[in-house]
Amino acid sequence: MFRLEARSSTPAWFNLALPLIAIVATLILCSGLIAVAGANIVEAYGVMLSASLGDSYAITETLVRAAPMIFTGLAVAIAFRAKFWNIGAEGQLLAGAVASCFVGAIPMPGYLAMLLMAVAGAAAGALVALVPATLRIKFKVDDVVSSLLLNSVIYYALMALIEGPWKDSFSGYPISPPIEDSANFPVLIEGTRLHLGVIVALIAAPLCWFLIARTTLGFRIRVTGENPEAARYGGINVQRVLISTALLSGALAGLAGAGEVGGVHFQVMSDISPGYGYSGIVVAMLARLNPLGVVPAAVFLAAVMTGAEAMSRATGVPAFLSDVIQGTALLAMLVALLFTAYRVRRVGASA
Amino acid sequence: MTAVFEQIFQVGFLAAIIRIATPLAFATLGEMFSERAGVLNLGIEGIILLSAMTGFTAASLSGSLWLGVLVAVLTGMLMGAVHALFTVALGLSQHVCGIGVTLFSSGLAYFLYRLIFGQQSVPPSIKGFKPVAIPLLSDIPILGPAVFSQFTLVYLAIIAVPLAAFVLYRTPWGLSVRMVGENPRAADSAGVSVIATRFQAVILGGALMGLAGAFLTMAQFNAFTFGVVSGRGWVAIALVVFGRWDPWRSAGAALLFAFVDALQLRMQASGLGHIPYEAFLMLPFIFTIVAMAFMSRNAVAPSALLKPFRREER
């Protein structure tokens, strides 16, 4: 017989080991689908690896894809720390994309445009996140449900814009007009798509870590999440902390949208985000809600996404494998997290 | 303006409400059973999608629609069991597990669909269920053609509501479900297995979500598309709150949502063409959020919702 036994503390190497165990378990489980699709498992994963991390160009592509997920991952990590269940990063990202695209289309000096695009994107995302937070505080509406429903509202609003008044008159497709050329985020390495926004994302992670681990607001966020009663008793205004968390979380998700407009697409279209907001949840959980862990977790998911497309071309296995991997990784990580709270003990006679 | 209203309120309008409400009623009842036992199932969106896909595939390959329904229901039950395994047996976060189940199920649905049907410019379709007119009842003016000339699955949904109320309020098992959702400790002392009851409720919920998926691909659209569910699962979660965790009220909430949805469809089709149709599409979602704002303050969720149960932790 085995039984779970409560564990008081966890060794530090767990932080690294658990996500790795979850990822390995995920890849083993998902290899079954590769086999079902009639492809060679080693070959398929090999193509995925070499196409995403095999050479310097592939690495830049993976980083470009990781950037929005670093932002949404940070957005979710910070929100979940306060137990503000923000599942709305997808909608906040879209709102950020729309706002930054509006600003980027106004002629002005390049760097000013970029700065204002970031500000507008963050503000729009924060504004959207404010809705579920306010509904929760004022009307006791479950934040999970409202932020999920809001994703649909924002998506249809975006579609209404780009199929209606905001449709690019020079294009037959439902896309917005492009931003000014001068507002395009500078490319850092000639011949790649590695743009300034990727660096901003990489800097944002340690900044968020500092905020959570070393500032008063971060402390309040953590206490509110871990024990709201104690927080209240300790004189923390829990509602204000929730609002601050929502604004911060939404702003980060909005920045993901600004980065996609300024650095990758230069306009807004219906499929500007292939679910980066939802991927942010996977990223945050793999990172154990630690902002520093968000970066490697986002790079992993980005590598899976980039690699899955190449794998699909090479082996015929549908690229949707990357979606299955994301879901499996999230569930595997949750199971792995059990080992932080419990240890498996053999009990009884085992003759 | 009167012309617009005349176009909106017809017999067909009532029929449309019933049709739109059917998958929502199944999904809402499914989520309700799960939540009454204390388990929030955010996997609902993905479970409906995967069931819609497997049901469609089974019907398409075998030619039997009822086999398709069976496969969809079994898929829902299986994914319900998966969610229960994580949240009930292992006691993991219901929020995050639900999202995980949705991501996993959606990904699997897309993957398998692409694997089986390949990439086609026009999605393959099947000959779906045909409406069955109930003798005599279908002759009633207005109500007859709208309600009693529907798909068999619609009748099943209509029967499911009183049946769910009966099971929940009038059977020993229903009492167990309510007990483990309100006070699992007391239920445990009374000899009710909390774990088993929760498993059963979540699996029953999954079966109902499977029926929702089956209706979408085998009666409503007769094809599987990636956007076939498009937020209906999330709406169902809101409707459970709106319906105060009661089968009758939840079904009423589904009808109300369907009314708003049918209304926006008519408005799209009517003379209000200068407004982008997406403005109407978002209407039911905004309606749901606003309705929740009005309802949630007084809503009393099952006390043990979101709380895992471990016997040894006393």
What tens digit of pLDDT does each residue of B78-120 get? 999 999 999 999 999 999 999 999 999 999 999 999 999 998 8
> Domains along chain B?
9-119+147-295 (1.10.3470)
Chain B hits for A160, CB-CB cut-off 8 Å, are: 276-279, 282
Chain B hits for A331, CB-CB cut-off 8 Å, are: 86, 97, 100-101, 104
Nearest in space to A215 (alpha carbons), one of A173, A245, A250: A245
E strands within A111-189? none
Which amino acid is present at A74?
L
Task: Count the alpha carbons within 13 Å of A15 in the hemisphere toward its beta carbon.
Answer: 13
Chain B hits for A335, CB-CB cut-off 8 Å, are: 86, 90, 92
Lowest mean pLDDT among A99-108, A187-196, B43-52, B282-291: B282-291
CA distances to A123, A342, B312, B313 from A4, rounded to whole Å, are: 46, 6, 10, 12
Lowest mean pLDDT among A26-35, B145-154, B241-250, B253-262: B145-154
Taking the CA of residue B237 and the nearest CA in chain A, the distance in Å comes to: 7
Taking the CA of residue B281 and the nearest CA in chain A, the distance in Å comes to: 7
Residue A96 has pLDDT above 80, yes or no: yes
Q: Cβ A335–B90 below 8 Å, yes or no?
A: yes
- pLDDT bin (cut points 50, 70, 90) of residue A351 is very low
Asked if the C-beta of B88 comes within 8 angstroms of chain A's C-beta atoms, the answer is no
Which amino acid is present at B225?
T
With vertex at residue A274, the alpha carbon angle to CA A271 and CA A280, rounded to the nearest 5 degrees, is: 140
Better-scored residue on pLDDT, B271 or A100: A100
Q: Which helix (H) or strand (E) holds A2?
A: strand A2-6
Chain A hits for B286, CB-CB cut-off 8 Å, are: 153
Asked if the C-beta of B102 comes within 8 angstroms of chain A's C-beta atoms, the answer is yes
Chain B hits for A135, CB-CB cut-off 8 Å, are: 289, 292-293
With vertex at residue B79, the alpha carbon angle to CA B206 and CA B307, rounded to the nearest 5 degrees, is: 75
With beta carbons less than 8 A apart as the criterion, state whether A245 and A221 touch: yes
What tens digit of pLDDT does each residue of B148-192 get? 888 999 999 999 999 999 999 999 999 999 999 999 999 999 999
What tens digit of pLDDT does each residue of B123-143 get? 899 999 998 888 888 888 777
Taking the CA of residue A197 and the nearest CA in chain B, the distance in Å comes to: 27
Which is it for the CA torsion B271, B276, B277, B281, positive or negative? negative
- pLDDT bin (cut points 50, 70, 90) of residue B312 is low
> pLDDT over 90 for what percent of chain A?
82
Residue B5 has pLDDT above 60, yes or no: no
- pLDDT bin (cut points 50, 70, 90) of residue B59 is very high
> pLDDT over 70 for what percent of chain A?
95
- pLDDT bin (cut points 50, 70, 90) of residue A12 is confident
Pick from A140, A149, A321: which is nearest to B297 by CB? A140
Q: Which helix (H) or strand (E) holds B133?
A: strand B132-133
**Helix pair angle (A238-259, A56-81), 10° resolution:** 160
- pLDDT bin (cut points 50, 70, 90) of residue B232 is very high
Better-scored residue on pLDDT, B123 or A291: A291
Rounded-to-integer distance, Cα A150 and Cα A95, Å: 11
Residue B295 has pLDDT above 70, yes or no: yes
With beta carbons less than 8 A apart as the criterion, state whether A209 and A81 touch: no
Which residue ranges make up each domain of chain A?
70-293
Report the DSSP pairing between strands B132-133 and A342-346: unpaired
Q: Which pLDDT value is given to residue A170?
A: 80
pLDDT (average), residues A309-326? 95
Nearest in space to B219 (alpha carbons), one of B31, B26, B77, B46: B26
Helix (H, G, I), strand (E, B) or coil at A346: strand
Taking the CA of residue B134 and the nearest CA in chain A, the distance in Å comes to: 37
Compute the radius of gyration of chain A from its Cα atoms.
21
pLDDT (average), residues A153-166? 89
Q: Which pLDDT value is given to residue B297?
A: 75
Chain B hits for A328, CB-CB cut-off 8 Å, are: 104
Average pLDDT over chain B reads: 90
Better-scored residue on pLDDT, A73 or B303: A73
Q: How many CB atoms lie within 10 A of CB A137?
A: 16
Q: Which pLDDT value is given to residue B314?
A: 47
Nearest in space to A123 (alpha carbons), one of A150, A106, A103, A143: A103
B240-254 CB burial, b ≥16 within 10 A, e <16: bbbbbbbbebbbbbb
Q: Which pLDDT value is given to residue A291?
A: 96
What tens digit of pLDDT does each residue of A173-190 get? 889 999 999 999 999 999
pLDDT (average), residues B258-264? 88
Pick from A33, A140, A149: which is nearest to B289 by CB? A149
Q: Which pLDDT value is given to residue B8?
A: 54
Better-scored residue on pLDDT, B19 or B145: B19
Nearest in space to B28 (alpha carbons), one of B205, B229, B231, B266: B205
What residue has token string 């445009």? A113
What tens digit of pLDDT does each residue of A102-146 get? 999 999 999 999 999 999 999 999 999 999 999 999 998 889 889
Nearest chain B residue to A324 by CA: give it. B107
- pLDDT bin (cut points 50, 70, 90) of residue A319 is very high
Chain A with chain B: Cβ pairs closer than 8 A: 137
Nearest in space to A9 (alpha carbons), one of A341, A336, A289: A341
- pLDDT bin (cut points 50, 70, 90) of residue B4 is low
Better-scored residue on pLDDT, B281 or A348: B281
Alpha helices in B216-246, H assignment, sequence order: 232-242
Average pLDDT over chain A reads: 92
